[in-house]
Amino acid sequence: MKTMQELLSEIMLLTNHIETEYPELYRFLDENPMTIPSLDHPNIDKEIMKEYMDSLKQLLEHYLETHQTNKILGKSHS
């Protein structure tokens, strides 16, 4: 399993990629990835971070599949 630092680096790279390349998708993320949790004692471990990273990847994959399908069908995102 990856270290916490590796996971955090991957998450940061992925969210930066989404923000830069797909700003229309980035604005739908419910949180600012650079924000520290507001809980006094958040229980965040490597497994939770891996799940979060996987969810970001799935979100991007789904968006790309949908976007490509709509582009082929001539639909816009308006």
Spell out a b/e string for 6-37, using b for 16 or more CB atoms within 10 Å of the CB, else e. Answer: ebeebbeebbeebeeebeebbeeeeeebeeee
pTM for this predicted structure: 0.70
- Sequence ranges of the domains in the chain: 17-29+59-73
Sign of CA dihedral 54, 55, 60, 63: positive
pLDDT tens for each residue of 22-74: 988 888 776 555 444 555 656 778 988 898 899 899 999 999 998 876 655 55
